Structure 1
Amino acid sequence: MTIHFVVHDEGDSVGVVVVEGLKAGQKLTGWIMDQDRTIEFDARSDIPIGHKLAIRPIKAGDTVIKYGVDIGRAVQDIGAGEHLHVHNVKTKRW
């Protein structure tokens, strides 16, 4: 089984892609490290290696959690399997 993304804890809202070339429509397998279990769903957008993807729906204004840490807020609705980056997540610092 190929692991496509990793998640620190099931309370996180995103995972990090660990393979090259994820394409929209591809079946993805993720490993939730703290619980040592896998999750599966379809990619809804192309996602580069090292970038984040939503592992559950995130509403505009929601806090985004990665590795148990608040990394910002969603500026638009993001569906499970979609790419997260500077186009839809912003820091809360400014």
Structure 2
Amino acid sequence: MADPDDLDPRLIRLDPRDNVAVVRQRLEAGLPVRVAGRVTTPARDIPLGHKVACRPIQAGEKVLKYGAPIGSAVAAIAPGDHVHVHNMKSDYTATHTLDEARARHGGSAA
């Protein structure tokens, strides 16, 4: 099994129970990043403060950050994938609020 703590220095896992890591420095599309001991290449830039999966997360599984559930995966998420509103439903922010944020910011809610 891959070690979820074997991370690129541009990532930080906040709690040992977390299945995501937080981006400490923007990850550029096409440049390699090490996640759980494996090298992956993001297809798109992943902004500072966003999340990437440290291990496979199944559809319906809770996304854990700070050792607590923050949402549920709406699709399967591979290690190194960007975890955000396109593949995770927040447990705290209503969907209509996210839709409004996307409209205000040209399709991307932070």
TM-score range with shorter-chain normalisation? 0.7 to 0.9
Give the TM-score taking structure 1 as reference length: 0.75
Give the TM-score taking structure 2 as reference length: 0.65
RMSD: 2.1
Contiguous gaps of at least 5 residues in structure 1: 30-38
The answer on 1:43 being equivalent to 2:49 is: no
Q: What is the number of equivalent residue pairs in this alignment? A: 84
Give runs of ≥4 in structure 1 deviating > 3 Å: none
Distance in 1 of aligned mates of 2:74 and 2:67: 20
Shift of 1:25: 5.3
Counterpart residue identity of residue 40, structure 1: G
Partner of 1:5: 11
Contiguous gaps of at least 5 residues in structure 2: 1-7, 95-110
Identity within the alignment, %: 38
Q: Which has the higher contact order (CA 8 A, sep 6+)?
A: 1
